[in-house]
Amino acid sequence: MEMSTTSARDDLLGSIEAAKTRQLGAAYTAAFVAGLALLCWLSQRPALWLWKRRPKLPPGPPAWPLIGHLHLMGKLPHQSLHQLANKYGPIMYLRLGLVPVVVVSNAQMARACLQTHDEIFASRPRMKAADVLAYGHSSISFSPYNHYLQQMKKILKVHLLSVKRLEEGKYVRSEELSLLLQSILADHLHNRVINILDRVCTMSNNIISRLLIDRRIFNDDDEEKSESFKNMAERMSAYLGAVNIGDYLPFLEFLDLQGYDAKMRNLHKEMDAFLQKVIAIYGEERGENHGPRTTDVLEVLLSLADERSQNNQQLLNETSIKALILNIFIAGTRTTINTVHWAMSEILRHQDILDKARQELNDVIGTKRKVEESDIAKLTYLQAIVKETFRLHPPTPLLLPHESLQDCKIAGYDIPKRTRLLVNTWAVGRDPSVWERPLEFDPERFIRSSHIDVRGQHFELLPFGSGRRSCPGISMGLTVVHSTLASLIHSFDWYLPAGQRAEEMDMKESPGMGLIRASPLLAIATPRLNSQLYAD
């Protein structure tokens, strides 16, 4: 009888516990559903809690609950946003998940944001890719607008990108350009089709490595290393330009729905190991060299770090130095590589443009010597080709995102604090109200409008951005792009491989932060100059 009573009591207690568990589960479920419903309701009313009145936001498409407009961002966001801007206008409001975003797509709106309200939009939003790949936003490109950024930019401009430093690096650029021409000549002599992307990539990376540590890292006889670094740079561009769901729906970040997190961390380990090796090799050589010190970039950074460490200023440390080197490598090479790649693609599609460029080079330089940097100022048509390439194929189709530091008004619309700003330079370059026949590659437009510059003062052409967050390496980038393209056209006749027609060339774009051709340009080159000029 006692056992039966005990069993009954246990069954009763079990039933009570089960009931409690069900009630608790129901309560959790109800709380989750209620929280989700509240989140959806708030997400449909962005920034209401920041404003005493309902803000007058720019126009935009209807938003879905919770995800907002994330479903409208395709594999090539700059193209998706361009299509939306054609319907909703040059300033457009989107909500990507829980993040308010303003997209501007013409010169007038770009000027309002990057010049009139430059200080307000001077910061960067936090992004998972920049946090993982750019050493916790220590990179100049992705750092918020703060004292650290201002000091690092000062170091960069004074010690690394001054007119004096640009002049000191002239012999490096000249030597690496000569080696590029020699490698293309060797391809010709061995009847090889030339991968222009690979050749220009090796040259550009070696220019940066020699300026950084006074030695070539990428050699023609070690293509595996060059290919490995190119692959890392392309993957980094892809992740930095991707629409990461975790950035816009933070409560889902831990799920890593797209599988980016693990891949980015692996990539960071690869890139960090590369940078660590560069610094280690340099440190060994620095310790062994008892003669006069060189004035390459890493020497300057290490010296500044030593000096500031003695003064208890921790601005420069191993992490910030690696972040700065990575910034120089990626930003300092990708503009040159991609711009020359696109420019060569366009002129091989348009034989008349190639003929005009070659004729100008013959008139200004002749065939008795090679192109020199001092010649560029006289090559008006070549400069027009570069500008037209920037217009149709901007190095960064969506400028790196800005973030508003306070509330402001743009074109009569309310822009709340902490709104993300995207400037669609790809769309700005295709604005039919500014550009006649905007989809055609026509350098002549910049002969007729030669006053339009690319340094951030003419907002219809913004390859390097404008204002406080514009690219600090504009002068060096333009120098290398112009001299490389001029030398390729002047030194060789160029043809497409047999069976490939110009009008059938694949000009598709690849996803990423930078504008990359989906397939590399393959071409055939024959020398135009005396063989001694290539050996010089």
Q: Is 271 exposed, middle or buried (0-12, 13-18, 19+ CB in 10 A)?
A: buried
Q: What is the pLDDT of residues 87-137, one digit of tens each?
A: 999 999 999 999 999 999 999 999 999 999 999 999 999 999 999 999 988
Mean pLDDT of 508-530: 94
Beta strands 408-410; 99-104: pairing state: unpaired
Handedness of CA 60, 63, 69, 72 (dihedral sign): negative
Joined tokens for residue 330? 């990626």
Confidence band, pLDDT 50/70/90 cuts, at residue 350:
very high
- Range of weakest confidence among 165-174, 297-306, 432-441: 297-306
Mean pLDDT of 508-520: 93
pTM: 0.88
pLDDT at 310: 58
**Residue 125 DSSP label:** -
pLDDT at 47: 46
Which one has a higher pLDDT value, 396 or 41? 396
Q: Is 60 exposed, middle or buried (0-12, 13-18, 19+ CB in 10 A)?
A: buried
Listed residue (353, 338, 444, 450) closest to 393, CA to CA: 338
Mean pLDDT of 466-486: 94
Q: What is the pLDDT of residues 436-461, one digit of tens each?
A: 999 999 999 999 998 999 999 999 99
Joined tokens for residue 8? 């009954």
pLDDT at 331: 84
User: Following DSSP, what letter does each residue of 405-459 receive, concatenated?
Assistant: SS-EEETTEEE-TT-EEEEBHHHHTT-TTTSSSTTS--THHHHHTTT--SSSSST
pLDDT(17) > 80? no
pLDDT at 316: 80
Do the Cβ atoms of 424 and 82 come closer than 8 Å? yes
Confidence band, pLDDT 50/70/90 cuts, at residue 49:
very low
Confidence band, pLDDT 50/70/90 cuts, at residue 65:
very high
Q: What is the pLDDT of residues 404-423, one digit of tens each?
A: 999 999 999 999 999 999 99
Joined tokens for residue 176? 């690496």
- Range of weakest confidence among 146-160, 224-238, 277-291, 331-345: 277-291
pLDDT(200) > 60? yes
pLDDT at 40: 53
Q: What CATH fold (topology level) applies to the domain 70-535? A: Cytochrome p450 (1.10.630)
Mean pLDDT of 482-504: 95
Burial 359-375 (b: 16+ CB within 10 A, else e): ebbeebbeeeebbebeb
Listed residue (266, 395, 398, 427) closest to 331, CA to CA: 395
pLDDT(24) > 90? no
Confidence band, pLDDT 50/70/90 cuts, at residue 198:
very high
Joined tokens for residue 76? 């090539």
Phi, psi of 384 (to 5 degrees): -65, -35
Q: Domain ranges in the chain? A: 2-43, 70-535
pLDDT(14) > 60? no
Mean pLDDT of the chain: 87
Which one has a higher pLDDT value, 154 or 358? 358
Burial 503-528 (b: 16+ CB within 10 A, else e): eebeeebbbbbbbbbeeebebbbebe
Phi, psi of 131 (to 5 degrees): -65, -45
**Residue 377 DSSP label:** G
Which one has a higher pLDDT value, 72 or 159? 72
pLDDT at 465: 95
Q: Distance (Å, rounded) from C-alpha 96 to C-alpha 220? A: 45
Q: What is the pLDDT of residues 27-40, one digit of tens each?
A: 444 445 445 545 55
